[in-house]
Amino acid sequence: MKNIFDNIDAMQMHMQPVNINGLRGRMLKIPATKPKKQDREILMIYGHHASLERVYGLAEDIAQYGNVTVPDLPGFGGMDSFYTIGYKPTLDNLADYLATFVKLRYRGKKLTIMGMSLGFVIATRMLQRYPELVKKVELLISLVGFARHDDFVMSGPKKRSFKLLTNIFKRRLAAAGFYNIALHPTAIRLFYGRTSNAKTKLQHLEKKEQRQMMEFEVILWRDNDVRTYMETSLIMLTLDNCQIQIKLPVHHISVDDDQFFDNNTVEQHMRIIYTDFTNHTAILPNHAPSIIADKSASEPFVPKSIRKLLSSIGPAKASKQ
């Protein structure tokens, strides 16, 4: 795996500022690497506990199929949170933010949407709230996305415990204490690697890669707004996106050994929302790579069947939106 921090330096050439409704952040904008794909537009939305740095390798890989844009989400990756402008990071507000980005960025253009985990949840809610945007979407891809809270493989007691903790730490004072104590860099280095989630991320890496990963986790935890992290965790644990249908087919990338989701339940719920569902299996040891640092790390996450779809879509056609 390429050195993560070398990659962070390399990605600066593709970074641009974003300022929407007073929320300041960044976006990755990587032009298509193949001349025949320069008219294609691909919007990628990262997931929970994420940043542009975390998914850069995936965006770099997908750029062979079109121009790739990855915006920060409010409260993640160092972007201003909704709290800074007097709003809460509800799913509807996140969907409204994404819709505004799409309308500004893709005026008169069609696009492919690739949403990862929570990013797919936000994209789904956006299409439900703004049905006029559906006709702009030529291809919709879920990267280990989900649709309802019971898609999670989690016992009732564990789910209740998580709900209790997120309800506590989404509050201002508790979040400040959590950030300054539990998320102090020394505390992260000492204790995070012992958690079950971290062990899953680190177990297939060599020692040098584990050290790099831990240092990146320090940055990631410190950059993400604690209250937004907790509020969006609660959103996922109570989610129900199955109330409004969307007139689009969805192509879903699943992982057989996904530690978070039951793939059969995910499919059932997505079939309720979308007009058709096609599953594509990625050969990975867990839910998703913790850091997609380069193209080689991205390759197993994007099955050949998805790459064939991305290759077959023609130039983006004009849209009235």
Per-residue pLDDT tens over the stretch 59-86? 999 999 999 999 999 999 999 999 999 9
Q: What is the pLDDT of residue 192?
A: 75
173 domain residue, yes or no: no
**What backbone phi and psi angles, to 5 degrees, belong to 301?**
-80, -20
Q: What is the pLDDT of residue 176?
A: 96
The pLDDT of residue 286 is above 80? no
Distance CA 220, CA 53 (A): 9
Choice between 216 and 126, residue whose per-residue pLDDT is larger = 126
**In CATH, what number is assigned to the domain containing residue 130?**
3.40.50.1820
69 domain residue, yes or no: yes
The pLDDT of residue 33 is above 90? yes
What are the structure tokens assigned to 231, written together? 């509020």
27 domain residue, yes or no: yes
Residue 47's closest CA among 62, 58, 39, 36? Answer: 58
pLDDT tens for 1-25 read 455 566 666 788 999 999 999 999 9
Overall domain count for the chain: 1
216 domain residue, yes or no: no
190 domain residue, yes or no: no
53 domain residue, yes or no: yes
Question: H/E element holding 29?
Answer: strand 23-30
Distance CA 19, CA 90 (A): 19
Which domain does 138 fall in, by range? 4-153+241-312
Confidence of residue 131 (pLDDT cuts 50, 70, 90): very high
Distance CA 210, CA 156 (A): 32
